[in-house]
């Protein structure tokens, strides 16, 4: 298991809202293996809002994600994941890390765990539960309906389009002045870069908040520990983990008197972006 995943699950499973690490804490590091693809020509930063728990409207999360676009390749993921990858690479040459390094991981929380990698006509999706799961699929085709309307986003006069995808209806705004067939998550297929997309129930939204052309290496994690599976099994594991993460962690925590700490699970109903 990667250091970040172990540390985060350990701490959140024992002390809520606090980051307490023993000075003698030590954990073995994991290999850092990536497959470098292309260099990005565009980097688009999106503010992503999503509902984490269908039973609570107060569970709305907000996170910064990045879309790196290269020649026939793109990657959409949590901006903090890039920081975690940097830490993994830095410490992978060490046998272990201690409390100081663990603290750096805990300061960098990843809320949007999906990594969506597009290459040619295929997509690779990774998500981080106790281990990293991955599936591959054909890039979906979107039957967009172009509509009238103009919206200014980051100085671009964007046009409107609507589509239904995996059980949800979406409204998107795209910039003709950026002739790039791409967008956040798996979205694409419009005559310009998609700068905003939101479902009609306002449970998932992606809004561009910045663009630059600073070249970045587009890569995909490829450790041997990654569990490759089908989309159906991937979604089943995702739902189980979101609603009952304790199933994935066999470790137990104890009070000072040796009695086990009982963790009460929050009543959660996972709200997947893809309903179908």
Residue 159 lies in a domain: yes
| Cα gap 83→184, rounded to integer Å | 19
Q: How far apart are the first and last CA of the chain?
A: 30
Residue 265 lies in a domain: no
Residue 98 lies in a domain: no
Calculate the CA 73 to chain-centre distance: 17
Q: pLDDT by residue for the chain (276 residues), tens digit each? A: 455 444 444 444 334 344 556 667 777 777 788 999 999 999 999 999 998 776 666 778 999 999 999 999 999 999 999 998 998 888 888 888 888 888 888 888 889 999 999 999 999 999 987 788 999 999 999 999 999 999 999 999 999 999 999 999 999 999 999 999 999 999 999 999 999 999 999 999 999 999 999 999 999 999 888 999 999 999 988 888 877 766 655 555 444 455 554 454 556 777 889 998
- Quote the pLDDT of residue 207: 99
CATH number for 58: 2.50.20
- Quote the pLDDT of residue 100: 81
- Quote the pLDDT of residue 171: 99
Q: Hey, is 69 helix, strand or coil?
A: strand
Residue 144 lies in a domain: yes
Number of domains in the chain: 1
Looking at 190-235, which runs of residues are DSSP E strands?
Answer: 193-199, 204-212, 217-221, 227-228
CB 196 within 8 A of CB 45: no
CB 49 within 8 A of CB 273: no
| Cα gap 88→30, rounded to integer Å | 8
Q: Give the residue numbers spanning the domain of 143.
A: 36-80+114-248
Residue 85 lies in a domain: no
Residue 164 lies in a domain: yes
- Quote the pLDDT of residue 2: 54
Residue 150 lies in a domain: yes
Residue 242 lies in a domain: yes
């Amino acid at each position: 298991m990667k250091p970040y995943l172990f540390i985060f699950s350990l701490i959140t499973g024992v002390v809520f809202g606090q980051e307490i690490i023993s000075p003698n804490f030590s954990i073995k590091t994991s290999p850092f293996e990536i497959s470098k693809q292309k260099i990005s020509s565009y980097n688009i930063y999106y503010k992503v809002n999503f509902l984490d728990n269908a039973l609570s409207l107060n569970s709305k999360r907000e996170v910064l994600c990045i879309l790196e676009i290269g020649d026939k390749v793109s990657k959409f993921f949590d901006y903090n994941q890039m920081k975690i990858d940097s830490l993994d690479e830095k410490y992978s040459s060490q046998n272990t890390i201690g409390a100081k390094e663990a603290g750096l991981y805990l300061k960098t929380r990843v809320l949007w765990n999906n990594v969506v990698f597009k290459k040619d006509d295929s997509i690779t999706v990774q998500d981080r539960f106790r281990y990293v799961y991955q599936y591959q699929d054909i890039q979906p085709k979107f039957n967009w309906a172009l509509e009238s309307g103009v919206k200014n986003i980051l100085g671009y006069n964007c046009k409107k389009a609507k589509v239904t995808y995996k059980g949800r209806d979406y409204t998107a705004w795209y910039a003709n002045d950026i002739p790039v067939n791409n967008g956040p998550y798996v979205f694409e297929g419009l005559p310009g870069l998609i700068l905003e997309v939101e479902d009609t129930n306002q449970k998932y939204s992606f809004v561009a908040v910045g663009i630059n052309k600073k070249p970045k290496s587009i890569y995909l994690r490829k450790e041997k520990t990654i569990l490759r599976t089908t989309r159906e099994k991937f979604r089943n594991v995702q739902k189980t983990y979101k609603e009952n993460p304790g199933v994935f962690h066999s470790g137990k925590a104890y009070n000072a008197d040796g009695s086990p700490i009982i963790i009460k699970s929050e009543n959660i109903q996972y709200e997947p972006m893809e309903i179908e």
